[in-house]
């Protein structure tokens, strides 16, 4: 081709403009392909950031403009049109991606997510973990998830494309790649789970079949313990720090170390009465004196906003929780580690707790100790450096469990024993039976996604 034709074509084909601001007619494109830029909103000048945010609803929080590029591309698609981006996949799991997840879940379809974290996909080294994501302007159908290693190559990519064209096939393996077809994608703007394709398929199946752990119908609640706003003032080992009825035995992470609840003697100096009202300091001179020794309490934001209620903990204490048996879960562990607190203690903020009016807590403990529960945790919880998982009540609630009534006496006994013995393998075998998971799928559970 002559230079002149090339220049001509470039002039007619290529438009040089700001993709987030240039007028492009909506719904005219069959395909949008891209390798979008990564620029944090914080690094844009204020006017540009404000204009982008005002134009694209997904550009919220402290995000990155690639999110806007995806929204802009989706808006260009004809019905049935597709966007294929090689792009960081962080938006699928973090806070700033929630708007885009919500939009995609509501109006578009996820067709492919090929994670390429270890693939040398670019000429120059890039720090963002990329994935190839194909989204379509149509109703959600099945979705292909693929996980690749550094060996992933052009020929394995071609084989994967060919395989994914046949809707009847569910599993695919080739050099450097494993893929799975999920019957549908995940709903809503909650973070989308992560894991090996087979693991995701299992999580999706159990999500479709079973109810959530946190469920008013089974009277089961997942929540987090009390945030005080100042542990040095409110938490003490001195049982006489305040009047006896103000001293509430407190369950803390140190009590869970052995796997059996072993109270280390901490109390909460509790400023709330049984009805959830803040007590009057005049009625409790010893407590008043104790708090007076912590003048920093009055400096807290919550205290300055309510000068007459400066002695309050950030969260209220719900008196009826104390006596209930609880499963306590510690944050920032590599594995889910439920411990039974038989009643009498109030959970501190760094513990999550499960209470239930229908579950035998030891049977539930067995289920939560199993690798099935672990698979949910790994799929939804953010993994920190060193392999620990950052739990969040929102995602603990998502663990699926069979109905308590569906568990036979024999199975309940095995779950109870496995829980008492802290035997994860036995708990997993019994839990798999309770969920009706095919023993052939055990390796999906045992090959942990977490490297400790």
**What is the binding site for ligand SAM (CB under 6 A)?**
18-20, 35-37
CB closer to ligand SAM out of 18 and 452 = 18
CB closer to ligand SAM out of 17 and 257: 17
What minimum distance in Å lies between the beta carbon of 156 and ligand SAM? 21
Q: CB of residue 19 vs ligand SAM: minimum separation in angstroms? A: 4
The minimum distance between CB 146 and ligand SAM, in angstroms, equals 20
The CB-of-46 to ligand SAM minimum distance in angstroms stands at 16
Nearer to ligand SAM, 20 or 441 (CB): 20
Nearest approach, Cβ of residue 28 and ligand SAM (Å): 18
**37 versus 239: smaller Cβ distance to ligand SAM:** 37
Name the residue nearer to ligand SAM (CB basis): 37 or 285. Answer: 37
Residue number, 20 or 393, with CB nearest to ligand SAM: 20
Kindly give the pairing relationship between strand 109-115 and strand 382-383.
unpaired
Min separation Cβ 350 and ligand SAM, Å: 40
Please say which residue, 20 or 24, places its beta carbon nearer to ligand SAM.
20
Rounded least distance, CB 59 to ligand SAM, Å: 12
| Closest to ligand SAM by CB, 127 or 258 | 127
CB of 16 to ligand SAM, least distance (A): 8
Provide φ and ψ at 13, rounded to 5°.
Answer: -85, -35
User: Backbone dihedral region of 412: left (phi > 0), alpha (psi from -120 to 50 degrees) or beta?
Assistant: alpha
**How far is it, in rounded angstroms, from Cα 405 to Cα 220?**
14
Q: Cβ(66)–Cβ(54) under 8 Å?
A: no
Q: Provide, rounded to whole angstroms, the least separation between the CB of residue 3 and ligand SAM.
A: 22
Instruction: For the beta carbon of residue 393, count every other beta carbon within 10 angstroms.
Output: 15
Query: Please, what is the end-to-end C-alpha distance for the chain in angstroms?
Result: 57
* Closer residue to ligand SAM (CB): 36 or 402: 36
């Amino acid at each position: 081709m002559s230079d002149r034709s090339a220049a001509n074509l470039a002039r007619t084909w290529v438009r040089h403009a700001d993709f987030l601001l240039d007028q492009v007619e909506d719904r005219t494109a069959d395909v949008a392909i891209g390798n979008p830029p990564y620029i944090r909103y914080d690094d844009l000048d204020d006017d540009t950031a404000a204009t982008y945010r005002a134009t694209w609803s997904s550009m919220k929080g402290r995000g990155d403009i690639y999110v806007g590029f995806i929204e802009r591309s989706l808006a260009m698609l004809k019905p049935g049109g597709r966007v294929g981006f090689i792009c960081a996949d962080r938006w699928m799991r973090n806070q700033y991606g929630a708007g885009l997840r919500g939009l995609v879940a509501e109006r578009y379809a996820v067709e492919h997510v090929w994670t390429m974290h270890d693939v040398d996909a670019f000429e120059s080294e890039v720090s963002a973990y990329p994935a190839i994501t194909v989204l379509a302007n149509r109703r959600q159908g099945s979705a292909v998830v693929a996980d690749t290693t550094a060996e992933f190559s052009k020929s394995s990519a071609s084989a994967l494309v060919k395989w994914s064209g046949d809707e009847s096939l569910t599993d695919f393996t080739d050099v450097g790649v494993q893929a799975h077809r999920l019957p549908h994608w995940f709903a809503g703007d909650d973070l989308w789970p992560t894991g090996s394709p087979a693991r995701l398929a299992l999580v999706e199946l159990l999500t479709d079949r079973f109810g959530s752990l946190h469920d008013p119908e089974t009277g089961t609640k997942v929540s987090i313990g009390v945030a005080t706003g100042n542990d040095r003032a409110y938490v003490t080992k001195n049982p006489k720090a305040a009047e006896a009825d103000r001293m509430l035995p407190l369950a803390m992470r140190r009590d869970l170390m052995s796997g059996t609840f072993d109270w280390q003697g901490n109390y909460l100096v509790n400023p709330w009465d049984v009805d959830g009202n803040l007590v009057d300091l005049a009625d409790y001179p010893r407590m008043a004196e104790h708090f007076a020794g912590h003048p920093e309490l009055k400096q807290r934001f919550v205290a300055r906003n309510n000068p007459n209620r400066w002695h309050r903990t950030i969260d209220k204490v719900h008196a009826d929780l104390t006596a209930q048996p609880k499963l306590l879960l510690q944050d920032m562990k590599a594995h889910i580690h439920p411990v039974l607190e038989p009643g009498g203690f109030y959970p501190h903020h760094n513990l999550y707790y499960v209470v239930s009016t229908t579950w035998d807590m030891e049977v539930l403990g067995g289920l939560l100790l199993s690798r099935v529960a672990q698979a949910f945790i790994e799929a939804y919880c953010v993994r920190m450096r060193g392999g620990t998982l950052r739990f969040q009540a929102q995602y603990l609630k998502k663990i699926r469990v069979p109905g308590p009534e569906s568990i036979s006496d024999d199975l309940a006994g095995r779950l109870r024993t496995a829980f008492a013995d802290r035997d994860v393998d036995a708990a997993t075998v019994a839990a798999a039976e309770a969920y009706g998971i095919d023993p052939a799928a055990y390796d999906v559970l045992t090959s942990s996604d977490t490297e400790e």
